[in-house]
Each structure stands twice: as C-alpha cells, then as structure tokens.
Chains A and B, each alone.
Chain A
C-alpha cells in the first residue's frame, strides 16, 4: 500500500511524501469513512457540505500554489456549475433517468466557460495581478447578471433562473434503476460519494502536479519569462491550469446544488468569492492536502462561530487571514507538517534518510 502510494504519488512538486505522511493520510481517509457512523443525519449533511467545497480549494491550490496565478474566479465557475446542473438536471431527468449525466454536462459547460475566460486572459498576455482583478470583475458581472434574472422570461427549458431569490427545486443526484423510486444520493450516500470523489481528486492532482506538465506549471509560476525562453508555451500551460481549476470548482458547484437543491447569486458575491482564497492562504498554497484540511476546518470553525449567534465569524476570519499572510506566508500546514514529521521520524525510521520536502522545494525553485 505504502509502496504503491509512494511510487505513484510522490514527486518533486508535492509536499508530504514520508511514510508518516501517507500513514496520516490513510488514517484521515479512515476517519472520513467512519464519520457517518458516529454522527446523526443533520451532521452528516453538514460534513457533506464541507467536503464538497474541497474541490474548490484543490483547484485554487493548483492554479495559485503551483502556477502562482491568484484567481478570484473559482466562485464564478462554482456558480456556473451549480446553475447549469440545475438547468440540465431538470430538463434532462426525464430523458436520461439520472442526474449524473447532468452533473457531467454542468462540469463540461463550466470548463468551457473557464477555458473561454482562460483563453481570453492568457492568450491575451494578461498576467499577474491583472488576472486576479479580471477574475474578480467576472464574479461581480455574473452575480449582477444572475440577480436580475427574475421573471418568466428567464427560464431555460423547464427551469426558471430565479433572479435574486435563486434557483429552487434542483433535483438531488439520482439514478433510476427501473424501480418505482429512483435511487437518490442523500445523506450518507451523498457523503460517501463526495468523500470518494474528493480523495480521487486529491490523488489525481498530486499525480498531475508531479507530471511533466506539473513541473512546467511550477516553472512558469516562478519565472514566466525564463520558461518561455526555454521553449515552453506558457500561455497553454496557464490556460490548462485555469481550466482544470474551473472544472474542479464546477464540480463543487454542481454537488452543492444537488446537495441543497438550491443555489442563489450571492455564492458569487465578493465575500464568498474570497473564501477559497482564505482557505488556501491559510492551509498553505503549495500543499494540496493542507488546502483541503484548512477548507474543512475553517468552514467548521466559521459555522461553529455563526451557530453560536456570534457576529464575529467574518471579523475573526479576516483577522486570521491578515495575520497569516503577515507572519506565516507559506501557510499553516507546511511548518506543522515538518514539525510532526520530525517528531514522528523516531517512530517511522523510513522517513529519516529522506530530505525534507521543503529542501527539495528550495533546490528545485529559484
């Protein structure tokens, strides 16, 4: 097991490759597996909600952490994914008898949108902070647009877009196996589905990050001009990363719409658009798993705060973000991981002879 994981998913661009890391990873997966056994229905729904945002964080970690392009547009594609899942599933449910096809179509559609915006940006030579600002502007355009789609003239097939109040009655993920009732993915079923997809997405991104493409992406991120001079098509590389990140965000959006049967334009507002940025900055943008863990724990944390009726949730999140960037710009998890790794290296001897991940990073970068 360890040998297989280490063989396939270790590499120069990902943090965490000791046996201890993989043991903790497997323990984490086991924890996710067992969680519904100890939680009631409401809590399972809640954990599903947290988990389905993992894709957003993973996508941003790819494009910001590896590619050094900060995109505020993750929520644009989240919104497009969610809305188009709603439209596709209502219109196609009778024909396809399931909504997985609609989810796939929604992700495809949002990826096309991401590709279009990415083509516009990267083939147009827009770079750095301008990408950030254009993506921010695009979330605001979409939010403004969706908020004014009230009324019957804004109906796609059978689905009204709903304007400011949002789109309601979105069908859950379901398969119709020929029986009287469709096999619906709710509660624990949806939870396991989302958890499995999240783990698969994580491992897939690790594989991608360590591939030739992943190396090139990091090279472009650290020095675009040098990479271009060495013969890399930097536009293509950035465009691809942006599109993949958009597809992941759309997966989150589609699952979100299927989970809550509802989506509204405020998911694309400025405050929500910055949430993935907070998670990724907090978790450490170079560390894929750290971003997921920080997305889960920050959502849990902010929900605890707001469930108490406290108004301080956003103030604390803003403050945490500010202090993080000021004092620990690489994020929480890489230093934490190093510390735990050092403590554990006495137990797991195999990790002792390896270089620490950060040293490899320093040798590769700069």
Chain B
C-alpha cells in the first residue's frame, strides 16, 4: 500500500511538473508556432512576483493571481515589441527569444542579486505508513488538469476561442471575416505568458527562487509540447505529460532524480524519432 502510494505520488509530481511548465508553451509554441526560449524566464518572473508580494504580506493565492496578471502584461509588451516580427519563422523567433531570455535572467541577476527570499509551502503535509508527503504537491497536478480543461472550454466552447482558432488556422481569411487578427495575436501571446507566469508562481514555494529559476523548466516544457504535437494541443498535452511523466516518475523512483531526468530526455528523442508530428497526430490519424 505504502509503496503504491509513494509511486503514485512521484508519478503525479512529475506529471504536474511537465504539464504545468508546458501550460503557456502549449499556446505559444503549439498554437502560435513561436519557439519561445524565454518561456522559462516568464516563469521566473512569475515566481519573482510571488516572492516579492508574499514577503510583503500578501497571501499565496492572490499573489499567484498577481503574478499571472503581471507576466500576462509583460508577455503582451514582448509580443508588441519583438514577437510580432517573427510569425511563421520558427528559427528566427528561437534566436531572438533566446537573446531575450539571456537579457531577462542576467538583468534580474544584476537587479535583484543571486536569490530571493523563499515562500513557505502552504497546506502542510500528511503521513502514509511512516512516510510524510506534502499536500501541496498533490494539489499541483489537480490544478494542472483543471487549467487544461479550462483551456479546452475557452478554446472550443466560446466565441473568443473560435476567433483564436480561426486566426491560428488562417490569419488572412480570419481577417477577411472581421477578426482583428493583430489583437488576437497580442492577447493569445499574453495569455500564454500569463499561464507561464502562473505555473512559475505555483512552483515558487517548492524551490529556490533565483534568476536561473526558469532553466529547469524550459526543457520539460519544450519536451512536453513537442511530443504532444500540434494536431490537438489539449489532448496532446495530456497524453504527452501522462506518458513522459510515467517515464520520468518510474526511473526517478528506481534510480534517482538525475537518471529520471535523463530518461525523460532520451524517451523524448525516441518518441520524436517514431512520431515526428507528435502523439496527438497519431491519435488524429487513428480517428479518421
């Protein structure tokens, strides 16, 4: 019983890590086709906002919302100034956003120093058969799945979501039908950045907050989105974080976290080799 629970706990933890870190990138890379290397830095900015506002006396929940809003606005500014030039050009956007990520992380290092005061983990813990677990770590996967469902509702069940999907599919025709394409791009990138900041804010209580906070999230985020593929971003993200989480979780349980991370990366290479268009593409072909 206790072994089953601790395996499940590790699995849910890796799943939440992959899913949450990929949330914003699902929209920005999966839908908009912008290889945003500064994704980790948006998460870092979210964590910084949480650290600063929590230590100024704000409770965690409103601090997370504040972080979401802040990174959303910063994302819109980035779209307006930089990203707008690079739609449809994956490689150029990759290089430019990599430059941006250097500027943000090193700039933060200069502005705020090597680390910020941490945020205590809320909710406490519980014990199962002599081992103690953090409740917050079990809340994270629930939040991840919840936000993914919310994203599905927004994209597929609202008018705004329809406009977004139309614009991503064919901007010219969407514009001809009266959609303000520029505004849609601006808001969609803003929403993606806001989700990145949200995820960074949620992970702020779990780890050290410094300028390189985003680095550990960047690879898992890219891996999840790329393995998911662009055919059905919501289901794809669920599938890829589920599958990769299982790989990382089980190797983590058996051989430790370094091996777990390496096996995650190796598994990604093999999955991409077998399904270059991603898992969701396989599913889509099956459906037809």
Chain A residues in contact with chain B, CB under 8 A?
70, 120-121, 124-130, 132-134, 136-138, 140-141, 144-145, 148, 270-271, 274, 277-278, 281, 311-312, 314-315, 317-323, 325-326, 329
**B 83-107 binary contact with A (CB < 8 Å = 1; else 0):** 0011000111011101111110011
Q: How far is the CA of A267 from the CA of B102 in the complex (A)?
A: 17
Q: Is the CB of A320 within 8 A of B35?
A: no
**Interface membership of B65, Cβ < 8 A:** no
Q: Is the CB of B90 within 8 A of A141?
A: no
Q: Is the CB of B95 within 8 A of A140?
A: no
Given contacts A129-B91, A144-B258, A144-B262, contact A322 B96 (CB under 8 A): yes
A315 surroundings in chain B (CB, below 8 A) = 102-103, 106-107, 110
Question: Which of B128-136, B168-176, B192-200, B218-226 participates in binding chain A?
Answer: B218-226
Q: Is the CB of B103 within 8 A of A319?
A: yes
A314 surroundings in chain B (CB, below 8 A) = 102, 106
A320 surroundings in chain B (CB, below 8 A) = 99
Shortest distance from the beta carbon of B42 to any chain A beta carbon, whole Å: 15
**Interface membership of B285, Cβ < 8 A:** no
Q: Is the CB of A144 within 8 A of B261?
A: yes
Given contacts A141-B266, A144-B262, A311-B110, contact A130 B272 (CB under 8 A): yes
Given contacts A133-B222, A137-B265, A325-B95, contact A126 B272 (CB under 8 A): yes
Q: How far is the CA of A178 from the CA of B72 in the complex (A)?
A: 69
B222 surroundings in chain A (CB, below 8 A) = 133, 136-137
Given contacts A70-B94, A126-B272, A325-B92, contact A270 B99 (CB under 8 A): no
Q: How far is the CA of A321 from the CA of B38 in the complex (A)?
A: 14
Chain B residues in contact with chain A, CB under 8 A?
35, 82, 85-86, 90-92, 94-96, 98-103, 106-107, 109-110, 215, 218-219, 222-223, 226, 258, 261-262, 265-266, 268-269, 272-274, 276
Given contacts A129-B35, A315-B107, contact A322 B268 (CB under 8 A): no
Contact of B99 among A121, A127, A325 (CB under 8 A): A325
A322 surroundings in chain B (CB, below 8 A) = 82, 96, 99-100, 103
B35 surroundings in chain A (CB, below 8 A) = 129, 132-133
Shortest distance from the beta carbon of B261 to any chain A beta carbon, whole Å: 6
B102 surroundings in chain A (CB, below 8 A) = 271, 314-315, 317-318, 321
B106 surroundings in chain A (CB, below 8 A) = 311-312, 314-315, 318
Q: Is the CB of B223 within 8 A of A321?
A: no
B98 surroundings in chain A (CB, below 8 A) = 274, 277, 318, 321
Shortest distance from the beta carbon of B212 to any chain A beta carbon, whole Å: 9
Would you give 22 A-B contacts (Cβ < 8 Å), ordered by A?
A: A120-B273, A121-B273, A126-B272, A126-B276, A127-B276, A129-B35, A132-B35, A133-B226, A136-B219, A137-B223, A137-B265, A137-B268, A138-B269, A140-B219, A144-B261, A277-B95, A312-B110, A317-B102, A318-B101, A319-B103, A321-B96, A325-B96
Q: Is the CB of A311 within 8 A of B90?
A: no
Q: How far is the CA of A25 from the CA of B268 in the complex (A)?
A: 44
